[in-house]
């Protein structure tokens, strides 16, 4: 696709068509992007009814991933919305992991369906959500025997993997599809040392954000579907609803490029990843104060998780003199290492097959040095404060993690169904005045984008305390209004 786009940009064919820049951007910044940016012109196929070059990319992706595949250029978000809409009709029930990404909740709201929540296990030592157990799914299936689909997030943002095979069996015994949001696990099928992919374990729809862990451009993703439980016509219809009618050829060429890289170099890239990763893990095992989840994930197998993705480095500073935020700041200001996010007591680094030995070494070296300087239960030596003052690094609220059960389990109590709440009139109230009121909207911190409260849940005192503490710390909270002062609840505005 990229070659074809280059050829087109060098040809003598004059563009009497969109995009408006007409590929005449020489001398402007980003000129090379404009040169290959086109619309559905002759020979370039159409994402919404692929028959040529785009179909070819999808077929190659199918061979790699092992199931029928659709390209997504609106991220996994579009895939999740389409998957939920395709499997759930108005008034029907889906079993939904409560730690799902906001797009899953939006999918339920848009389809007019109803959710019954599956609660993941809790990893106390790390303050993290673990997996959703098959027992939890079984319990909810007996409670909601009419459920029409199940949606799980596996792996989670933190790399926690559920027992997808067992949960797929439970779903299939009842003749309903299992959707797995494997947005963070697109690399699983590349090597047996990663956890097995949900596609190979029998999930009916699997969604991959290839941009998260594979060499692909942001916004690119794939949806895979297999088996007989999902109506392909409905799925294709909803993909065309939720995806733009003007898909970017740069993004689609990027998907093609990613597939080519994997076809040609997956084994080699995985081999070097696991070699460098092994050295890193060995070094992490020698830390005296901090802990890295991937080095002890085996201890949690069967006690909260089924497996863990070694690419997600959860580095815990719990019990030391620094917080997760301070560790995040220190890694950036002193070592130039930008973490994916910080939690209360930990930071998360994402390492992929595209990382370099230098990247692993720098991270390992920095953590080893910080660890040496840390003494549990003693005061931090002061380096951190100095670094902070010198570099003025303040933590970007986008990178604070609020995906710990202690927070999200404090979600409001369900009062009515989400669809019923969304049909009511809404009004804004001060957060302080919200306890006891029913939420009309979603409130979440991004990342990870897991709603603290959804429409139909009551604002409890704990939720309000959490929101106020976020506000105090200056976080950008999505779903609040008036400078994070107000939330949406069910009711009539006084002056309405
Ligand atoms: C678990 C999970 N699912 C889905 C998504 C949405 O993915 P995308 O950004 O590709 O739309 C995210 C995004 O962070 C996520 O963390």
Q: Report pLDDT digits (tens) over 239-253.
A: 999 999 999 999 999
Handedness of CA 86, 62, 355, 6 (dihedral sign): negative
The CA distance from 427 to 491, in Å, is 6
Backbone angles phi, psi at 15, to 5 degrees: -85, 95
Pairing of strands 221-225, 205-208: antiparallel
Claim to verify: residue 246 and residue 282 sit in the same structural domain: no
Centre of ligand 1 to C-alpha 359, Å, is: 24
The model's pTM is 0.91
**Structure confidence at residue 473 as a pLDDT band (50, 70, 90):** low
Residue 476 has pLDDT above 80, yes or no: no
Q: Report pLDDT digits (tens) over 73-123.
A: 999 999 999 999 999 999 999 999 999 999 999 999 999 999 999 999 988
Query: Which atom in ligand 1 lies closest to the alpha carbon of residue 100?
Result: 1
Claim to verify: residue 337 and residue 435 sit in the same structural domain: no
Claim to verify: residue 195 and residue 162 sit in the same structural domain: yes
Claim to verify: residue 145 and residue 284 sit in the same structural domain: no
Out of 225, 259, 293, pick the residue that ends a domain.
259
The answer to the question of residue 369 being in a domain is yes
Q: What is the arithmetic mean of pLDDT over 29-57? A: 96
Query: Which atom in ligand 1 lies closest to the alpha carbon of residue 72?
Result: 10
Centre of ligand 1 to C-alpha 214, Å, is: 14
Q: Of 183-192, 355-364, 438-447, where does mean pLDDT reach its minimum? A: 438-447
Centre of ligand 1 to C-alpha 183, Å, is: 6
Residue 436 domain boundaries: 410-490
Query: Which atom in ligand 1 lies closest to the alpha carbon of residue 79?
Result: 11
Claim to verify: residue 344 and residue 480 sit in the same structural domain: no
**Structure confidence at residue 154 as a pLDDT band (50, 70, 90):** very high
Q: Report pLDDT digits (tens) over 190-228.
A: 999 999 999 999 999 999 999 999 999 999 999 999 999
- Asked whether 85 and 238 are in contact (CB, 8 A), the reply is yes
Q: Report pLDDT digits (tens) over 357-383.
A: 999 999 999 999 999 999 755 454 444
The CA-based dihedral angle spanning residues 422, 425, 430, 433, taken in that order and rounded to the nearest 10 degrees: -90
Centre of ligand 1 to C-alpha 287, Å, is: 32
Claim to verify: residue 254 and residue 279 sit in the same structural domain: no
Claim to verify: residue 43 and residue 150 sit in the same structural domain: yes
Claim to verify: residue 388 and residue 421 sit in the same structural domain: no
How many domains does the structure of the chain reveal?
3
Q: Is 196 exposed, middle or buried (0-12, 13-18, 19+ CB in 10 A)?
A: middle
> To 5 degrees, how large is the angle CA 46–CA 214–CA 452?
90
The CA distance from 375 to 483, in Å, is 40
Instruction: Give nearest CA residue, ligand 1 atom 15.
Output: 101
Determine how many CB atoms are found less than 10 A away from the CB of residue 35: 19
The CA distance from 177 to 62, in Å, is 20
Claim to verify: residue 24 and residue 113 sit in the same structural domain: yes
Centre of ligand 1 to C-alpha 304, Å, is: 22
Residues with CB under 6 Å of ligand 1 are 75-77, 101, 103, 153, 157, 181, 183-184, 209, 221, 447-449
DSSP string, 274-342: HHHHHHHHHHHHT-SS-EEGGGSHHHHBTTTBSEE-TTEEEEE-TTSSS-HHHHHHHHHHHH----SEE
Claim to verify: residue 281 and residue 415 sit in the same structural domain: no
The answer to the question of residue 495 being in a domain is no
Out of 259, 290, 307, pick the residue that ends a domain.
259
Of 49, 56, 20, nearest to 37 by C-alpha is 20
Query: Which atom in ligand 1 lies closest to the alpha carbon of residue 221?
Result: 10
Centre of ligand 1 to C-alpha 218, Å, is: 11
Q: What is the arithmetic mean of pLDDT over 35-50? A: 96
**CATH number of the structural domain spanning residue 203:** 3.40.640.10
Claim to verify: residue 222 and residue 126 sit in the same structural domain: yes
């Amino acid at each position: 696709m990229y070659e074809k786009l280059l050829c087109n940009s060098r040809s003598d064919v004059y563009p009497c068509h969109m995009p408006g820049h007409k590929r005449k951007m020489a001398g402007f910044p980003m000129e090379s992007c404009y040169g290959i940016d086109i619309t559905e012109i002759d020979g370039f196929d159409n994402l919404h009814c692929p028959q040529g070059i785009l179909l070819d990319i999808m077929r190659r992706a199918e061979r790699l991933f092992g199931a029928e595949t659709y390209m997504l250029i609106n991220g996994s978000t579009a895939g999740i919305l389409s998957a939920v809409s395709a499997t759930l009709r108005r008034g029907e029930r889906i079993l939904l992991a409560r730690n799902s990404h906001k797009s899953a909740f939006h999918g339920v709201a848009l389809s007019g369906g109803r959710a019954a929540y599956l609660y993941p296990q809790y990893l106390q030592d790390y303050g993290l959500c673990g997996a959703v157990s098959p027992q939890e799914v079984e319990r909810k299936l007996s409670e909601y025997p009419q459920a029409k689909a199940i949606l799980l997030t596996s792996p989670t943002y933190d790399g926690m993997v559920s027992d997808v095979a067992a949960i797929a069996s439970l779903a299939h015994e009842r003749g309903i599809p299992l959707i797995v949001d494997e947005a963070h696990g697109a690399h699983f099928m590349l090597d047996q040392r990663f956890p097995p992919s949900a596609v190979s374990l029998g999930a009916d729809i699997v969604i991959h954000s290839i941009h998260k862990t594979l060499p692909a451009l942001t916004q690119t993703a794939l949806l895979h579907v297999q088996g007989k439980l999902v109506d392909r016509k409905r799925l294709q219809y909803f993909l065309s609803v939720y995806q733009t009618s003007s898909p970017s050829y740069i993004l689609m060429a990027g998907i093609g490029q990613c597939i080519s890289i994997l076809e040609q170099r997956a084994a080699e890239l995985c081999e070097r990843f696991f070699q460098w990763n092994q050295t890193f893990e060995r070094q992490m095992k020698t830390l005296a104060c901090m802990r890295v989840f991937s080095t002890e994930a085996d201890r949690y197998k069967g006690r909260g998780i089924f497996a863990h993705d070694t690419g997600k480095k959860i580095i815990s500073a719990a019990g030391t003199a620094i917080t997760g935020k301070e560790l995040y700041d220190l890694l950036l200001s002193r070592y130039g290492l930008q973490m994916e996010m910080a939690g209360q007591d930990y930071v998360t680094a994402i390492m992929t097959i595209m990382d370099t030995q230098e990247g692993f070494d720098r991270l390992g070296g920095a953590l080893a040095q910080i660890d040496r300087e840390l003494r549990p239960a003693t005061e931090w030596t002061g380096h951190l404060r100095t670094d902070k003052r010198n570099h003025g690094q303040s933590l970007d609220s986008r990178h604070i993690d609020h995906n710990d059960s202690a927070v999200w389990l404090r979600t409001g109590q369900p009062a009515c169904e989400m669809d019923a709440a969304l049909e009511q009139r809404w009004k804004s109230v001060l957060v302080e005045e919200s306890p006891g009121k029913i939420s009309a909207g979603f409130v979440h911190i991004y990342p990870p984008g897991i709603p603290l409260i959804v429409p139909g849940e009551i604002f409890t005192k704990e939720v309000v305390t959490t929101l106020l503490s976020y506000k105090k710390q200056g976080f950008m909270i999505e779903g609040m209004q008036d400078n994070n002062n107000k939330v949406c609840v069910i009711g009539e505005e006084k002056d309405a």
